């Protein structure tokens, strides 16, 4: 049985970056064959985004299969598993194998819950649910989370899906001119608004100061090498060096690319004992609260990532996929 002493948590509550050369996924086998050959079935949600794997238990993956999984999630953005047997301690131990575990800035007051576990609970008494705005988890931190691992224990009879959007594809939906404009730009991310609002409505305690971080708008994924659009409605507030009006106009456009881009989105229908593992460097997600007053219960463990970087030599996803046509440029949707 895994003990708490074996759980790898980032030093203190403010997560230090994971060294780039130690990131999970860098030692994956070609084509992630060690993982995929162990699965009985694979279902891709779209060509670009999301896969569902069957026939494996996450807690039983060997080290090479775990490396492959980290790379597979980096490439696909989010990967789903059904029928997982995963206690809280096993959940923590699994996440810890991918890197140091992140401790969330909000304390939800669950005394019997490990500090690296974020409870996901809603019922007839809930006033809101977290995550209804498109976001990448806690991007306000200097080294935002890499992987988020969500296990759902109880689901409503209908509804409660989670939506995901590809940040790789979102970048490619921009015109070449807009891509060039954003290539060397940085944006400010803060949790001052989002987490203050959640704390007020949920009664959670803010356990450290609000953070303000400066991240590249075009982020190059340190494992996949792909360029991604790294701004989100939940945490991004301004673009460095632009007037407020200019910044707001561009950010609203970029937020729309994510939120209105049905062609770069997928929707996951939860079942009890399902797990979703997503890469916050590659996707954004949104919780859908359409099941009130029914209950939903789960837990999330999150892995600390590296400091975001921009590399002009990063690839577009369509290039990495062997010349796949990029998604339609956003402006084409606006033509009448």
Catalytic (active-site) positions: 135, 137, 285, 300
Separation of alpha carbons 186 and 188, rounded Å = 7
Rounded Cα–Cα distance for residues 200 and 109 (Å)? 14
> Whole-angstrom Cα distance, residue 92 to residue 193?
29
The partner residues of 302 in beta bridges, in order of sequence, read: 148
> CA–CA separation, 317 vs 281, rounded Å?
13
Would you give the DSSP letter of residue 45?
S
Q: Which SS3 state, helix, strand or coil, does residue 53 take?
A: strand
Question: Which residues have a Cβ under 8 Å from the Cβ of 313 and sit 6 or more positions away?
Answer: none
| Nearest partner of 18 among 197, 223, 190, judged by Cα | 223
Q: CA separation (Å) from 90 to 2, 21, 107, 200, 275?
A: 7, 26, 21, 32, 13
């Amino acid at each position: 049985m895994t003990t708490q002493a074996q759980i790898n948590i980032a030093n203190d509550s403010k997560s230090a970056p994971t060294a780039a050369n130690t990131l999970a996924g860098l030692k994956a086998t070609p084509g992630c064959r060690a993982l995929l050959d162990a699965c009985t079935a694979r279902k891709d949600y779209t060509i670009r985004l999301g896969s569902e794997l069957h026939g494996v238990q996450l807690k039983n993956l060997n080290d090479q299969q775990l490396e492959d999984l980290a790379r597979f999630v980096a490439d696909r953005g989010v990967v789903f598993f059904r029928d997982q047997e995963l206690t809280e301690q096993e959940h923590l131990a699994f996440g810890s194998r991918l890197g140091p575990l992140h401790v969330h800035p909000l304390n939800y007051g669950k005394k019997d819950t490990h500090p690296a576990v974020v409870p996901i609970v809603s019922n007839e008494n809930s006033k809101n649910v977290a995550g209804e705005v498109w976001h990448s988890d806690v991007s306000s931190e200097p080294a935002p989370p890499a992987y988020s691992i969500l296990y759902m224990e109880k689901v409503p009879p209908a509804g409660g899906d989670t939506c995901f959007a590809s940040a790789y594809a979102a970048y490619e939906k921009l015109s070449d001119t807009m891509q060039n404009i954003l290539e060397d730009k940085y944006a400010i991310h803060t949790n001052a608004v989002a987490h203050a609002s959640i704390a007020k409505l949920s009664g959670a305690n803010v356990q450290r100061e609000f953070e303000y971080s400066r991240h590249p708008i075009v982020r190059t994924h340190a494992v996949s090498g792909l360029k991604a659009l790294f701004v989100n409605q939940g945490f991004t507030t301004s673009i460095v060096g632009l007037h407020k009006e200019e910044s707001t106009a561009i950010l609203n456009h970029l937020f729309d690319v994510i939120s209105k881009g049905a062609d770069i989105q997928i929707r996951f229908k939860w079942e009890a004992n399902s797990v979703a593992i997503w890469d916050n460097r590659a996707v954004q997600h949104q919780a859908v609260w359409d099941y009130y007053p029914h209950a939903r219960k789960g837990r999330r463990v999150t892995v600390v990532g590296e400091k975001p970087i921009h590399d002009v030599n990063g690839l577009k996803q369509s290039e990495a996929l062997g010349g796949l046509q990029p998604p339609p440029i956003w402006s084409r949707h606006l033509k009448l």
